Amino acid sequence: MSQRRPCPPAPGPLEDYAAQFDDLFDSLAQRRGFREYLEGLLLPRDRNKTLTALAGVEPIVGSQLPSVQRLQWFLSESTWDAETINTRRLELLLTEIRPPSPMSRAS
């Protein structure tokens, strides 16, 4: 089996979060697309519900740019299981907000 190619990291602490999903994606393109999608969702933009806004480009003019086309492929053509991603997301969220168990305080 060949070794996985490293993915360009997401900015700042987003990389630590995104890396926790890497095993759920089969290819470098999927891992990269996931990071770009997360970044687009989290950046403060006026219209973050459009593909061009998620990619950070101007509407219409930027729709054919490689960054937009990569994101379009990830969202519509790439094979990944949204339910599995969501389950992992919820597991991570619950891990962060769950209070320590009484057993861990006893020591």
> What's the half-sphere exposure (Cβ side, CA atoms, 13 Å) at 72?
12
What residue ranges do the domains of the chain occupy? 14-96
State the average pLDDT for the chain: 87
Tell me the CA distances in angstroms from 32 to 70, 73, 94, 98, one per residue in order: 9, 11, 25, 30
Full-model pTM? 0.79
Confidence grade of residue 103 (pLDDT, cut at 50, 70, 90): low
- Read off the amino acid at residue 54: L
